[in-house]
Amino acid sequence: MKVSPAGFGAMLLRSPATAALGAALLVVGTALQLDSPAQHWAAAWHCARIDTIVGLLNPIGSGVTLLIVCGTLALLGWVCARSRMGEAGCLGALAFMVAGLVEYALKYLVGRPRPAAAGPLFGPEFDSFPSGHATSVFAVATVLGAVYPRLRWPLYALAAAIALGRVYLARHYLSDIVAGALIGLVIASLLLRQRSSMPVAVQPS
């Protein structure tokens, strides 16, 4: 049985307690077993070509870029009378904001220092966990992929590349982006499920 990331997010919602435990074990396991190797891998693979690719992808994960994309879709949907496009933009923006609030709260509750290689200019930064970029891109990708299924896997591939770029740039540990991706998936899946229960729901193409 094939399960998409969005379907995985919906599965997590069916059993919240089991999902929370599984997600916690996944994140902790990643932190214990993979964070250090991933940092070494990122340092070993540094080269000009990958630097350029990551440099191009990284801004996509910022709040401004994603909000512009979602706002543009919402505006085009309204102007062109494309209700599905407009709703995709609005739901994407809502998922971005809600997931961002959860991510922001966790950052300052956990207070995890960023990787030492990040080299902050004004002292240590204690907002590494979870990754805001990963949270945002997976939240928006989940919504857009649900509305436009043919774009689902390219969107998730782009989201994964952007998230891994944060490890490459030594701004996050691998477990930070795993946690962020899970938050984005779950929040977006929850919003999509709530929307589908309303009289007029998003109809995928």
Residue 23 in any domain: the answer is no
Q: What is the reported pLDDT for 125?
A: 78
Q: Each residue of 81-118: pLDDT tens digit?
A: 888 899 999 999 999 999 999 999 999 899 899 886 55
Q: What is the reported pLDDT for 62?
A: 84
- Rounded to whole angstroms, the Cα distance separating 42 from 174 reads 10
Is the backbone of residue 203 left (phi > 0), alpha (psi -120 to 50) or beta? beta
Residue 103 in any domain: the answer is yes
Model confidence at 14, pLDDT cuts 50, 70, 90, reads low
Q: Each residue of 25-35: pLDDT tens digit?
A: 999 999 999 99
- Read off the pLDDT of each residue in 149-171 and give the average, rounded to a whole number: 95
Residue 30 in any domain: the answer is no
Q: Each residue of 187-202: pLDDT tens digit?
A: 999 999 887 655 444 4
Residue 27 in any domain: the answer is no
Q: What is the reported pLDDT for 193?
A: 86
Q: How many structural domains comprise the chain?
A: 1
Q: Is pTM, for the whole model, over 0.75?
A: yes
Q: Each residue of 116-127: pLDDT tens digit?
A: 655 555 556 788
Which domain does 89 fall in, by range?
A: 46-112+125-194
Residue 55 in any domain: the answer is yes
Residue 78 in any domain: the answer is yes
> What value does the mean pLDDT of the chain take?
86
Q: What is the reported pLDDT for 176?
A: 96
Residue 54 in any domain: the answer is yes
Residue 182 in any domain: the answer is yes
